[in-house]
Structure 1
Amino acid sequence: MSDNTATLGSTAAPPRESSSASQAQDFVLRTVGAVAFAHLLNDLIQAVLPAVYPMLKTQFSLSFAEIGRIALVYQITASLLQPWIGLYTDKHPKPYLLPMGMVVTLVGIGLLAVADSYPMLLVASSLIGVGSSTFHPEASRVARMASGGRFGTAQSTFQVGGNTGSAIGPLMAAAIVIPNGQRAIGWFMPVAVLAIWVLLRVTGWRLKHAHVHVATAGKQAVSNLSHNQIVRAVVVIAILLFAKFVYIAAFTNYFTFYLIERFKLPVQTSQLYLFAFLAAVAAGTFAGGPVGDRIGRKAVIWISFLGVAPFALLLPHANIFWTAVLAIVVGLVMASAFAALVVYAQEAVPGRVGMVAGLMFGLMFGIGGIGAAGLGHLADTNGIVWVYKLCAYLPLLGIVTAFLPDTRECKR
């Protein structure tokens, strides 16, 4: 990683302060890019699991409910630990959690490749989830450290790495795993090894630039929201996350099944449609952060929910061509909200960067897991097409954005 601390070797105090101040203001593109790339690798590995659900369903004779429980186990382990890890590391920094967490992911993907029973699938899924729970809060913290004050841009750059990995994962699974079987999942283990190497370099940058974090800590934005306003904001954000990630879970976990049942597409072709949706999610995420830095977080949240509602309502009634078009529009617009929601929450609760990031990513995985399990049961009972008609109404919950207080900031 690049090292911008040349003046730190000086024995005079003023140059050190000047260097810290300068670095605190700079957007360190190489570092933000590194954590975004690591996020790509991390989420690429995680995306392999839902991408191979159709294969696992056939190989292990699983029901939709059992597929939903695999998603639940993975996403709950990926969610429950995150806020606690973030809260703990806010007070006791543990930079090496980043590469250590990826080692756990490496073990999980290896076990998934050789699992010969449903319980082993659940264990492998939980290990991949634990690796994810250690990655997100700490990597998000590093992105914010290197943001130079452009928090939305840094967060969206970081997040778009993950969404890009989520989009590439099913495509690679369709090309590598589906034709070659379960053991081919092990071919993703070198991806985890590469991620470990990148995260070791990121950790080295963080250790060298710890003084930048200290220098900027006293200059962080202070929200002047009251306690009641903060509580109200948290409740509204939870509702918005529920709407967003249950709807997204319908696509990431069941879009291939929907396309196969409704349009009789083969598995590999359906994976291409899933890739198109997830690529649109990545593009929307990238746009949401910089736009939020310019026009405000709340405006982006409004657009991402209510703007997507008409397209979501049309999608279950469209033919295959317009299903693809509408899915891309839905992914593009709705994904723009997440970076805005994360930075909004960090502005509302300053000084708790790790905890807020862990809570937001944790809620993302937890809601997605519960949503996937619930949607699986509904699909078994009513059919997957019915589930998509029901989920089409979720973006309308974006109306609660009206209750979000404005985060007017002051400086310490």
Structure 2
Amino acid sequence: MAGVPRNHTIILLAVGHACVDVYQGAVAALVPFFLAERAYTYAAASGVVLAASLLSSVAQPLFGALTDRWAMPWLLPTSTLLGGAGIALSGVTGSYPLTLAFAALSGIGVAAYHPEAARVARLASRGSHTAMGWFSLGGNIGFALAPLLVAVVVATGGLRLSPLLVIPALAGGVLCLPALRALRATTRPGSTAAAPTRDDDRGSFVRLSLAVVCRSIAFTGLSTFLALYAHQRTGGGTPAGTAALVVLYLGGAVGTVIGGNLANRWDRVTVVRWSYLLTVVAVAGVVFIPGPAFFVFVALTSAGLYVPFSLQVTLGQDYLPTRVGTASGITLGLTVSIGGLASPVLGAVADATSLQVALIPLIAMPALAWLLFRSLPEPGTPSPAQPAEPANATGGLPRADR
């Protein structure tokens, strides 16, 4: 990733990514307020998370396939505004079906954004997993800011003030425009993207996708109920729940940066494998350890789940070098959003038993992801007869814009 214009483009894309992922984090952050103001059950509240996730899960691979055929940069500002509008409107109606519809609208906006944004970020970074880490960091920061934004807006005036939550979408939509202009200036007619140097490895991509599903179930399950669970484990009120969510999301920002740096020293598969193994212990601590140590284990869980995040995106793109949009749509979309499908099940178990019992199965998710990664190859690893390619600005990986 050389040159100031390219650096500026990645920064703008990262900030725009933050403005979009605020709305993924906002869904879980709104759950305690839905329970308090509308007397939703755990299952009903988690249904809102499901509504945001379900259409997003289905739509993101479709948008990814479309971006493999046609460049659609206009999707970035349009989808940002759509994601913000859905969350902003979710608090203005007392109707549960309408609340679900607005949450689903936001999910579609998020779905439309990620495949094209990941394609554009890969073009701007020339395939660098380090640069993709910075792009992913923007989304993690957006997640981290979501509970603070919701607390400032909704806790002070109730759900009726939710239309104010559209402000990040307005900012993100504006920020997309100079980033796209800068990218267009560096890819004028006559410049061609590097052709893929490898064939698609569909088997490895399927195993990678299943591992991301396991990560998604663990992360979404925790983010949906963590604010409520923090009350029980720490004895605190609403501030304790908000603090737990901030730690979960902000720790992800740290984990993403650490993951990119570790991958420059070891290969991505090895880094992800060890991260998931350590996350098993961290999630167990969240579920079983009470008191102030609870927040320590939340931070460790967050870092452990986010170290693999951007690395899995670039692994998916490298396993499917001829279908970068599809790979991005699945690793950033279907397999991530599908975790929301488990939320109503966890909510039903919590209603019937307790939150702790409902969260215990989440300990197994990073263990399953670790098992799936044990047999995954590092894309582009040379055979014994071939010399290793020198490390370059893309972190030692072959450069490929698509």
* TM-score normalised by structure 2 residue count: 0.89
Matched, 1:374 2:363: no
Q: How does 1:217-366 map to 2 (within 5 A)?
A: 217-218=194-195, 220-223=196-199, 230-366=201-337
Q: Secondary structure at the match of 1:28?
A: helix
CA distance in 1, matches of 2:42, 2:301: 24
1:214 is displaced (CA, Å) by 5.0
Distance 1:286 1:164 in 2: 12
2:103 is aligned with 1:125: yes
2:145 aligned partner: 168
CA distance in 2, matches of 1:212, 1:262: 59
Amino acid of the residue matched to residue 222 of structure 1?
R
Distance 1:243 1:109 in 2: 26
SS of 1:217 mapped into structure 2 = coil
Report if aligned partners of 1:305, 1:334 keep a CA contact under 8 Å in 2. yes
Deviations 1:232-252 (A, max 9, x none): 313321331122111111221
TM-score by length of 1: 0.87
Distance, in Å, in 1 between the alignment partners of 2:84 and 2:298 is 32
- 8 Å Cα contact 2:230-2:241 kept in structure 1: yes
Please tell me the residue identity of whatever aligns with 1:168. L
Equivalent in the alignment of 2:171? 194
C-alpha deviations, 1:253-295, integer Å up to 9, x for none?
1001111234332112211121012111111012213432442
Check whether the contact 2:226–2:245 (CA below 8 A) recurs between aligned residues. Answer: yes
Letter in structure 2 aligned against 1:37: V
Which letter maps to 1:182?
L
Which of 130, 134, 139 aligns to 2:112? It is 134
The answer to whether the aligner puts 1:179 opposite 2:151 as a matched pair is no
Counterpart-to-counterpart distance in 2, 1:319 and 1:155: 36
**8 Å CA contact retained: 1:242, 1:367:** yes
The residue that corresponds to 2:181 in the other structure is 204
Query: Which protein shows a greater Rg?
Result: 1
Shift, 1:26, TM fit: 8.2
Cα separation, 2, equivalents of 1:372 and 1:356: 25
Distance 2:351 2:194 in 1: 51
Q: 1:25 to 1:294 in 2, by over 3 A?
A: farther
The 2-side partners of 1:212 and 1:345 are apart by 28
Q: Name the aligned partner's letter for residue 82 of structure 1.
A: Q
Change (3 A) 1:357 1:214: farther
Could you say what secondary structure the match of 1:93 adopts? coil
2:83 is matched with 105
The equivalent residue for 1:395 is 366
Alignment coverage as a number of residue pairs: 383
Amino acid at match of 2:318: E
Q: Deviations over 1:5-27 (max 9, x none)?
A: xxxxxxxxxxxxxxxxxx98888
Give percent identity, aligned residues only: 25
Q: Greater helix share, 1 or 2?
A: 1
Gaps of 5+ in 2: 383-397
* Alignment match, 2:21: 43
Q: 1:311–1:330: 8 Å Cα contact kept in structure 2? A: yes
Q: CA deviation at 1:146?
A: 1.2
CA deviation vs aligned residue, 1:168-192 (integer Å, no higher than 9, x gap): 1102212221121012222122221
Q: Which residue of 2 aligns with 1:153?
A: 130
Q: Which whole-Å CA distance do the structure 1 matches of 2:4 and 2:119 have between them? A: 16
CA contact (8 A) 1:24 1:215 kept: no
Residues 221 and 347, structure 1, Cα contact 8 Å, conserved in 2: no
**Range that drifts further, 125-134 or 185-194:** 185-194
- C-alpha distance in structure 1 between counterparts of 2:313 and 2:168, whole Å: 27
Question: For the aligned residues, what is the CA RMSD?
Answer: 2.2
Contact 2:24–2:143 under 8 Å retained in 1: yes
SS at match of 2:322: coil
**Kept after mapping to 1: 8 A contact 2:11/2:135:** yes
Alpha-carbon distance, 1:383 to partner: 1.1
Which deviates further from its counterpart, 77-86 or 400-409?
400-409
One-letter amino acid matched to 2:135: F
Which shows bigger deviation, 102-111 or 58-67?
102-111
What per-residue deviation string (whole Å, max 9, x for no partner) do you get for residues 375-411 of structure 1? 1122122211112223223221112211213322687
1:106 to partner: Cα distance: 3.6
Alignment partner of 1:54 is 2:54? no
Hey, what's the Cα distance between the residues in 1 that align with 2:277 and 2:339? Answer: 20
CA contact (8 A) 1:303 1:333 kept: no
Aligned 8 A contact 1:108 1:125 in 2:
yes
Answer whether contact 1:298 1:401 (CA < 8 A) is retained: yes
- Other-structure match for 2:391: none
Shift of 1:149: 4.0
